[in-house]
Structure 1
Amino acid sequence: MTEDTFVKEDRSKRTPMALLPYQQRWLEDDADVKVIEKSRRIGLSWAEAADDALLAASQSGMDVWYIGYNKDMAQEFIEDCGDWLKHYNKAASEVEEFVFDDEDKDILAFRIRCASGHKIVALSSRPSNLRGKQGKVVIDEAAFHDNLGELIKAAMALLMWGGKVVIISTHDGDSNAFNEVIQEVRAGKKPYSLHRVTLDDALAEGLYERICLRLGKEWTPEREDIWRKLIVAQYGDGADEELFCIPSAGGGTYLTRAVIERCMRADIPILRWACNNEFAILPDHIRQAEARDWCKEQLEPLLAELDPKRAHYFGEDFARSGDLTVIAPLAEKQNLTYRTPFMVELGNVPFTEQELILYYIVDRLPRFTHGNLDSRGNGQYLGERAMQKYGPERIGQIMLSEAWYREEMPRFKSFFDDGTIEVPQHADHMDDYRAVKMIKGVAKLPETKTKGKDGRQRHGDAAIAVAMAVAATRFEGGEYAYHQITAKDMRDMGHQINTTNGFGRLQGAM
């Protein structure tokens, strides 16, 4: 591992150069994988474009695959490469727009072809886009990509044939995957080269002088000091992270690994049932019998152990064939904390059998108070059926939306931060909880999906199920339960009916 260290120099002896010293050090580093944590707007990506244009234009060079997190970044980088190629007087095509087949949709991408036969291409951030590619990968503003870990993993495959990987970013929280990479490099776990350039580092090496040169202004130390104070004031509370490479606490990933681990318990089981495609075409009575047998074998012993004196809730994240349906019962404990006694994961299970399993659980939850079901898309069927069975006061049919996330996710987070909840200890569930991101000020799931250790597709399923269950604890409505009727109860009820001329209605828990 190498890391930039800054040495001050006498500015009066400095001769203007195309690239500032920190930009030069970055380009001179020939490591297979290099990472930089940086201040915003210090010209690092512009310098990277200078290197990549020269690389692609050289006969002994290679293709360059640039990955930014939005279209504007991609277009700006490709145009910078084009400007550098003209400066080098290298033959190259004009910037081309072309349609890139991004698996399930067409994406507008940008490309420059060089006379060397190499090209510079701006891709979207889907990891699979790097399959079969060779050359250099540039991941820009890495902290803001939805699935950085998988993207880096895909990029590493290019190293086998002499490629390079470059990771550039400002920070987005101390638990962000980008910061985790940096910590692993510093700990010696990753053999990457590491650079760090803060705003003050860049200013000391001529950033504001270069700005003055571009704007036709005279540089003085006093003006630079005023400019710096203005920039820091404009960023406010975000200045440490945006300008001085200090990741903020709680940004990026919504829940830190340490907080989640503290709430995980090894003795909480996860019950799984997955069906093949042929199961759905079996006769009804066979499918239902299979589901009942699974419930009796797997669920009944655990349900029988639940404390009959404590209130119970549940949350559910629905899926039919792509992701997983996850059901998370939640038991209130004596000390007013909560525990998931078990969790259920259903893969490719037909609608009717999911309904059977849900009812099997809810019918046996002691003092069942409230449950929330994911009622988007196909989930609307089960949400409506459960509401019809247990009543709208006990079943929430949740259409996940920006407003719901904004309202409910802070409470979900507080359950983990305060250690108020106990959940199963499992790597897939850890990934699900850490999949929740702060996106434009709201904690929710990005579109990116992952695969669990069993190879099945996941989309934060356990996190949503638990969030639904936590939201259900807000409700203090009537309980759904049965209790034994004594002879005295029968006499009392008979008296109530007689006093209403034979037209009474029994009042109780139903």
Structure 2
Amino acid sequence: MNLQQTAISQAVATSLADLQQFSADEVLLGYQKRWIADDSPLKIHQKSRRTGITWAEAADATLCAGAAKSEGGCNHFYVGSNKEMAREFIDAVAMWARAFDRAAGEIQEEVLQDDDKDILTFVVYFASGFKVQALSSNPSNLRGMQGNVTIDEAAFHDRLAEVLKAALALTMWGSKVRLISTHNGIDNLFNQLIQDSLAGRKRYSIHTTTLDDACADGLYRRICQITRKEWTQEAEDKWKADLLKDTATEEDALEEYYCVPKQGGGAYIPRGLIERAMRPDIPILRYEAPGDFTQWSQAQREAEMKAFCYEEIAPHLAELNPELNHVFGEDFARSGDLTVLSPGMIMKDTRIRTAFLVELRNLTYEQQRQVVFYIMDGLPRLIGASFDATGNGGYLAEQAALKYGTELVEQVQLSLNWYREWMPKFKAKFEDADIEIPKNDDVLTDLRKIQMNRGVPQIEKGSGKGADGKQRHGDAAVALCMMVRASYMEGAPIEFMALPNRRADSTDADDDNFNSYKGGAW
């Protein structure tokens, strides 16, 4: 059992002297346990105020310093932004040491030379030979040290870059670095590290705990237990509403309680980056079903879509490079909005280039399946496909998974967590000039529909209209993001059969091949 598992199991099993009113399994809340259990060498927690992450971190520090070297024990250094935070953390360490029955001395005060002045620090020594020590935010204090480092309220450190530089040097010998903070503006280094990590440019493990997240794991219930109040859902709702109402501005409330750095509004991907990625030679193929399409016979509907695939899609499939890996993204709609299909190719320099877009409006489920299978069968070296499986989209996604396998097809339930994980990676492709998309006003408008909402980039609510005056709702943006998601998949490339170029040039034999293409695409 590693130290993190030990922390959870012992905390669960321990009734603290000053928390006798709690049942044993409620000493740590869910988000606190998940934070401790994450053994990543680098991790960040963006959080609402007063959610107890620092208290949980003190438990982890105690277990680490209290363990023998053979058990992975080491020193732990805490860097807060003021003396009061330092004292509070060390007090929590002493409390956890008693709870875990770790042999430790009393809190000691030591003096460190900090530039030209003496700085009082707080430290707890353990029988293991290790210690937990609170240091000032002067980066030089970490020089020559070895052990894990916690930088608390990181967004509020005046010299965060220098402190982090000193702390990261300790990781060369296996130490770990943890950053904990509420937000302090969108341009703050703390937020930049989070966005870079979500985009895959840095390797920090990211944890997010909003006020709602914390309450879902029992924060307000814990407050009621401590203050000996009766918990009700109505009381919790009022408590949250009062916290938000008492904050000076809505923007402040979102930053303090919902992990939304200030000045985070507006379009998520800047227009300039979108336009830089646009290429006029990437086609958009469109089909809108007639109003009486559902009244046609099945044979008529199938023949209509065969003609569309053969005449519109086949020539572009025939131009694809069979030596490149290909991917597929899809955003589903049955009526009103569009189903958008986004096949893409992974270039030799790792850029993702959209092969073409297909926009389908008011098309039946079966004929959407017909078009999807035709495209996927014709993509050389297909390594991944990501489908919108939300709501009615589940049918088409399931059909694709049944035909091509779950290792090749991901069925995505669109959620805040999915947007939080994949939109930063999507945006990074534009920032790094690593994606090419069609040059089209509707595509631009769809991408500009990605907005920050309570710290999560997602498609803004409400439908808009395209250049043709018809409804669309960020459909191309989701499909393109799905295409990028598919590029991270590692499915084995599947073989394909090249399609004839034109229906008009086909012989009877060609038609026979077309109608039986890939053994059941129709």
TM bucket, shorter chain:
0.3 to 0.5
- Give the TM-score normalised by structure 2: 0.45
- Give the TM-score normalised by structure 1: 0.46
Structure 1 or 2, whichever has the larger Rg, is 1
